[in-house]
Amino acid sequence: MPAATRSGSCFRCLRAGASVLHAVQADGSACVAGIATPTGGKCFKSGNADLYYTSLVNGNVLDFINGIKVIK
């Protein structure tokens, strides 16, 4: 995003970036649970660009994530 934008101006999202959601399994290994990618090249008002989340969770990974207990 530009450092400064005029009111009503827009910017194009970077398409090369992504966020990866990792799940750490009981044995310490990690697996990818999903990927969030920026929207395409359309023009968006600053601060209003959406991220699209693609789930890579299959039944086994979903069972693992649902079985996590939070330790306080």
Q: Which two tokens stand for residue 42?
A: 């359309």
Which pTM was predicted?
A: 0.35
66 in a structural domain = no
21 in a structural domain = yes
The reported pLDDT for the residue numbered 9 is 59
What's the domain range around 17? 10-60
2 in a structural domain = no
Residues 6+ away with beta carbon under 8 Å from 66: none
How many independent structural domains does the chain possess?
Answer: 1
pLDDT tens-digit map of 14-70: 455 567 777 787 788 887 777 776 555 555 555 555 656 666 666 776 676 677 654
25 in a structural domain = yes
- The SS3 assignment for 63 reads helix
The reported pLDDT for the residue numbered 1 is 43
4 in a structural domain = no
The reported pLDDT for the residue numbered 25 is 76
The reported pLDDT for the residue numbered 45 is 54
The reported pLDDT for the residue numbered 3 is 42
